[in-house]
Every structure is written in structure tokens, then in C-alpha cells.
């Protein structure tokens, strides 16, 4: 049985980090493909960096969704942190591109992607993720809370 190492930040050693401007745009042209990605909140003085891990079948669309949801006073830890500190305090990186082009069934594609996301959630233990279990938002109704700041 593999032992899970919490906060295995060595997984982040080979990531190329991209700056994010004040409006939430990343200074890199990204393809709309499947990936497991990460946001890093840059630390202040004696703090440690904080992380958010996510996955998506369509990277460009998902990043646009993050920008929109951050402006809607979404109640998750990640969006509250963006609202408090601003996008420029964050960096963006790709943990892994997930090629599932050989899988025709969309549910299987999602399952493959979520298994890779779960690997990173287990090993990095990101503090900005509200949920520690990878799950797909497809088909789920999301709510926006305006009283959480």
C-alpha cells in the first residue's frame, strides 16, 4: 500500500508558473484541453504559499469560469482568498496535461481526469480547496452566497 505524503511540495519543482493580472488573465496562451492545474497564492513575510488544485476537460473555459466566479462573491475558500488579496497575488501552473483522446465515453474521460486530480489533492494537500475529494461539477447546480465575506 502506498503511503500518502501530505504537503509533498516536491511535485511542484518542475512547474512553470505564470503571472495573473488584476483582471484574472494569465500571461500565457493556453489550449482548451484536459489538464490538472494549480493556483498558488504567493506568501507574505512569514507565511507559507497556499494552493488550489483543479482539473478540467476544457482549460480555457474553466479559467474563464474561475474569473467569473471570483467576481460573484462565491463562498469557497479559494474565491474568498482571491476577493481578499486580488489575482496578482496568485500564480498559475499546469500539473499535468491528461490525454484522454482515445477514450470515447465522456464519463470515462472525466473519471480518468478526476483520478489524476485526486492524486495531486492527496499529495499536495492544498489549503485553498474546500473539498479534498475530486468531483465533477457537471450536472450539479451551484449556488452563490453573498453573505460570506
Is residue 149, in this structure, part of any structural domain at all?
Answer: no
Is residue 83, in this structure, part of any structural domain at all?
Answer: yes
Reported as a single tens digit per residue, the pLDDT across 103-146 is 788 889 899 999 999 999 999 999 999 889 998 655 444 444 43
Beta-strand relationship, 35-41 and 18-19: unpaired
Is residue 148, in this structure, part of any structural domain at all?
Answer: no
Is residue 73, in this structure, part of any structural domain at all?
Answer: yes
pLDDT for 73 equals 63
Question: In which residue ranges of the chain is pLDDT below 50?
Answer: 1-5, 139-149
Q: Which residue has the cell 516536491?
A: 10
Is residue 141, in this structure, part of any structural domain at all?
Answer: no
pLDDT for 17 equals 94
pLDDT for 75 equals 75
Q: Which residue has the cell 483543479?
A: 54
Is residue 132, in this structure, part of any structural domain at all?
Answer: no
What is the pLDDT of the chain when averaged over all its residues? 83
Is residue 129, in this structure, part of any structural domain at all?
Answer: no
Range of the domain at 26: 11-124
Count how many domains the chain has: 1
pLDDT for 74 equals 64
CA distances, 113 to each of 16, 25, 44, 68 (Å): 21, 24, 33, 23
pLDDT for 93 equals 96
Is residue 62, in this structure, part of any structural domain at all?
Answer: yes
Q: Which residues contact 132 (CB under 8 A, 6 or more apart)?
A: 121, 125
Q: Report, in this order, helix, strand and coil percent for the chain, each rounded to 5.
A: 30, 15, 50
Amino acid at each position: 500500500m502506498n503511503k500518502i505524503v501530505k504537503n509533498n511540495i516536491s511535485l511542484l519543482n518542475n512547474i512553470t508558473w505564470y503571472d495573473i493580472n488584476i483582471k484574472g488573465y494569465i500571461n500565457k496562451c493556453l489550449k482548451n484541453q484536459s489538464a490538472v492545474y494549480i493556483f498558488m497564492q504567493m506568501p507574505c513575510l512569514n507565511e507559507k504559499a497556499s494552493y488550489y488544485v483543479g482539473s478540467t476537460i476544457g482549460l480555457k473555459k474553466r479559467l474563464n469560469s474561475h474569473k467569473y466566479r471570483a467576481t460573484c462573491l462565491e463562498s469557497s475558500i479559494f474565491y474568498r482568498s482571491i476577493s481578499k488579496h486580488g489575482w496578482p497575488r496568485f500564480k498559475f501552473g499546469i500539473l499535468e496535461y491528461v490525454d484522454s483522446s482515445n477514450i470515447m465515453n465522456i464519463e470515462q474521460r472525466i473519471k480518468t481526469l478526476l483520478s489524476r486530480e485526486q492524486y495531486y489533492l492527496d499529495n499536495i494537500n492544498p489549503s485553498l480547496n474546500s473539498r479534498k475529494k475530486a468531483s465533477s461539477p457537471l450536472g450539479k447546480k451551484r449556488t452563490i452566497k453573498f453573505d460570506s465575506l
